[in-house]
């Protein structure tokens, strides 16, 4: 699995992704937008990453399966 946020500038900064899966997403303190900190998360985080993507109001979290 590979995770990215595109286009990042459309992030609403509501931090749902960081709340759902802080091992993969954080909110950048400078611009207040979500950032992926772990582009290839462990399989154990799959459900949390999917929940973050499903809950993203901007629908900009992209999950690519290997």
The model's pLDDT over 3-48, given as tens digits with 9 standing for 90+, comes to 999 999 999 999 999 999 999 999 999 999 999 999 999 999 999 9
Query: How do beta strands 2-5 and 25-27 pair?
Result: unpaired
CA distance 34 to 51: 15
Does the pLDDT value for residue 66 go beyond 90? no
Tally of residues, the chain: 66
Classified by CATH at the fold level, domain 2-64 comes out as: Alpha-Beta Plaits (3.30.70)
Output the pTM of the full model. Answer: 0.94
Where in the chain are the domains?
2-64
């Amino acid at each position: 699995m590979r995770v990215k946020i595109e286009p990042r500038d459309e992030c609403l900064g509501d931090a749902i992704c960081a709340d759902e899966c802080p091992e993969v997403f954080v909110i950048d303190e400078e611009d207040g937008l979500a950032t992926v900190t772990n582009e290839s998360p462990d399989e154990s985080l799959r459900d949390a990453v999917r929940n973050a993507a499903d809950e993203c109001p901007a629908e900009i979290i992209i999950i690519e399966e290997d």
